[in-house]
A and B are shown apart, each in its own frame.
Chain A
């Protein structure tokens, strides 16, 4: 074994306290240093943190940004989300292949790997790609040529020349081409606010009163599931255990959502204030921000803001003179796994495990991070908390619709003139939304991302709120020219890629759904395939273990329901009763090769 590898891996493990729960930090560091986590490295890590090697291997093989096989020093990950496809991904992909002289999945002799990656949270500035941690937006074939020429001059993604984005994107710690794209500021998240006023108000009352205030504001989780935040905190506070944790879910991976990205860029203080209030309310001393690997370009900025907060005594011991309230926040990084947005998978990942969801019950409020009572809240939810404590529950509850108080950030992309982030009061009609974002000739709208619903014009009178069209924030608009079956198939491809594989229906069923859609798009579909899609989709939804499988058939089921005509046009009954997908000549090819003669019957 390479001595230098041994020294370096041991150093990395030691720097992480040889702590099994910091496995993600360890394997990420090894990957960064060696462009792989080899078998030798796996053995060394296992020895250092005292676990079985297969446990390390199980983590390395789970996350898309980690690899046992060597990759280039530079990895270019081109986002292949549907919106990128709609924005000219094809030409951009061709340009990458041409300029690098390789295909996707390959590495150039000078160490540049080209890959596809699912939604990186840049749908309003697609097509986009990541060059290691650097995000490059608005790609075109010309821009790809410039990018590769530039990269080959210095082989340092941090030195790539590009125009800086607005706001904190231009901060030297971020130095990114991403722009915020805030199109509409509402009264809660993007309005002016008085920093730390909420925190001070919280300290003036008891933790139970803080929870009551959040309950009175009727705040519901902004991640999509909409669970009442006050109730979640009440359960966590009441649960037995001396250590408690508050986790912020900054793993927005739902294709088409990018609103948390903007909050993390421009409103991190508000978020950390919300987390601190949450820590006070539930009785936690530690907060963890779980940041998706795709947003690693924001890590330095966020770390800096945390350091500043520590120096201002907004974190640490006896915060703002509140005797006995000690609280600090650490950042844990993801490594490319959509499933980690599911709260129990997120906890698994924070614990240094593969991102498998956990069995419920017990719920995180009872047994979460490392078995301790844990509240997991979305980025936007925690910002709402800071505003509730600043302005009061009544102020907050008065905005929005009756059943769904306050505002919601929506990430709008697809076929419209003004994609970006909008803060609307709850209760807005889809048709009004379409007008505002400049979408004229709309065939379909995806509300809530692929795990939500795809609706047609006859449902554009419906409203965005918890009681009608619930959403974590993704809205994707499809014009008349889009093929809805193809879109359903592409979203299934995403879920196939992102299923953790723990349970049968999600692991296998999603692959089957995609196969049937491929068959239909291939012109070989039969009418009974549509019934099969429905039956299979229902089984996956009913029997899956976590939210991913419980919603992954939605793109198929909702297009099948709302755009049935499109499907029916593509299937036909075969008069001979034979399987149109069975190619007898192809099936005979191997046998013919062995026999060294052609079939006499099937010529």
Chain B
């Protein structure tokens, strides 16, 4: 059996290995597929849906779909761009995001994705939900106003830290992240050195005392758009 699978993304021929997902093969090939909940070291969550691509005519998430020989993947199309803009818009209006004051600004993947997709202001009406801030832990604070329910903290704490410090509660629009205690994060065994403390793509899980350590202008996405590191492999 061949140890290589050949398929195409937007007409470009890509070679991947058996067992890889579209996202993994694309990343190696230097083709950036926009994503938010995906993090290579975690089990794919497939919840943000930003990496939706069209595979042989059917929508699939690139982070969960295995590659097969000869599959035709559409990624950078006007339709998908519009869907992604709608998704990112939804994440903004679902919570209370305040980029200009957020300590994560410039390092935030949601903000960076909005810029990459050309969103300057969401077009949908804001929900302005009443969400809690938990600053009980000595080293970490949680601000659910900025949570996009990507599940990275849940998976990192379960699978890497083996602590299960986070979980999802509620359903539908009331679904939210909860900590593994009756009330606050301080009552869990979460530590600032845990993987779960450093995987948040937005400003929900923050390490106390580290804000603004890097000045504006020198932050992760200040100069180059999100995904440039992957695309650089292709240059």
Contact = CB atoms under 8 A, between A and B. Distances in A.
B83 A496 contact: no
Interface in B83-128: 83, 86-87, 90-91, 93-94, 123-125, 127
A321 interface: no
Interface stretch (B170-178, B198-206, B220-228): B170-178
Given A359-B64, A536-B86, A543-B52, A504 B169 contact: no
Contacts of B83: 538-539, 542-543
A57 B64 CA distance: 27
A512 B93 CA distance: 10
B152 interface: no
Interface in B128-173: 148-149, 164, 166-173
Contacts of A543: 49, 52, 59, 83, 87
Contact of A57 (B94, B123, B167): B167
Contact of A54 (B46, B66, B178): B178
Contacts, number: 121
B3 to A, nearest CB: 21
Interface stretch (B5-13, B24-32, B179-187): B179-187
A512 B122 CA distance: 13
A55 B86 CA distance: 31
Interface in A528-558: 532, 535-536, 538-539, 542-545
A274 interface: no
Among B87, B172, B173, the one with the most A-chain Cβ atoms within 10 Å of its Cβ is: B172
A57 B87 contact: no
Contacts of B174: 501
B82 interface: yes
Contact of B86 (A58, A502, A535): A535
B234 interface: no
A58 B178 contact: yes
B167 A508 contact: no
A504 B91 contact: yes
Given A55-B164, A505-B49, A61 B170 contact: yes
A508 B173 contact: yes
A581 B124 CA distance: 13
A354 B168 contact: yes
A539 B172 contact: no
29 contacts: A52-B180, A53-B181, A53-B182, A54-B166, A55-B164, A57-B178, A58-B178, A61-B171, A354-B171, A361-B66, A499-B171, A499-B172, A500-B171, A501-B168, A501-B171, A501-B172, A504-B48, A504-B90, A504-B148, A507-B173, A508-B93, A512-B93, A542-B52, A542-B79, A543-B83, A545-B46, A545-B47, A545-B49, A545-B61
Nearest to B64: A359
Among B91, B148, B180, the one with the most A-chain Cβ atoms within 10 Å of its Cβ is: B180
A507 B149 contact: yes
Contacts of A505: 49, 86-87, 90
Given A58-B167, A508-B173, A503 B47 contact: yes
B47 A502 contact: yes
A52 B167 CA distance: 9
Contacts of B175: 500-502, 507
B173 A542 contact: no
Contacts of B171: 61-62, 337, 339, 354, 499-501
Interface string A318-360: 0000000000000000000101000000000000001000010
A511 interface: yes
Contacts of A542: 52, 59, 79, 83
Interface residues of B, number: 42
Interface string A269-303: 00000000000000000000000000000000000
Among B47, B82, B123, B174, the one with the most A-chain Cβ atoms within 10 Å of its Cβ is: B47
Contacts of B47: 502-504, 545
Contact of B127 (A54, A511, A544): A511
B18 interface: no
A110 B181 CA distance: 33
A251 interface: no
A427 to B, nearest CB: 28
A581 B173 contact: no
A522 interface: no
A535 B94 contact: no
B94 A507 contact: yes
The A contact surface, by secondary structure, is helix
Given A499-B173, A504-B47, A507-B149, A53 B180 contact: yes
Nearest to A46: B180
A498 interface: yes
Contacts of B178: 54, 57-58
B141 to A, nearest CB: 19
B44 A62 contact: no
Contacts of A57: 167, 169, 178
Among B64, B79, B124, the one with the most A-chain Cβ atoms within 10 Å of its Cβ is: B124
Contacts of B166: 54
Given A55-B164, A499-B173, A535 B180 contact: no
B86 A497 contact: no
Contacts of A503: 46-49
Contacts of B79: 542
A496 B125 CA distance: 17
Contact of B90 (A53, A509, A545): A509
A549 B94 CA distance: 17
Nearest to A540: B86
A538 B78 CA distance: 14
A91 interface: no
Contact of A508 (B66, B90, B179, B181): B90
B125 A544 contact: no
B210 to A, nearest CB: 26
Interface in A211-234: none
Interface string A143-175: 000000000000000000000000000000000
B182 A509 contact: no
Nearest to A355: B171
Contacts of A354: 168, 171
Interface in A31-65: 39, 43, 52-55, 57-58, 61-62
Nearest to A360: B64
A511 B87 contact: no
B180 A54 contact: yes
Contacts of B170: 61-62, 501
A359 B93 CA distance: 26
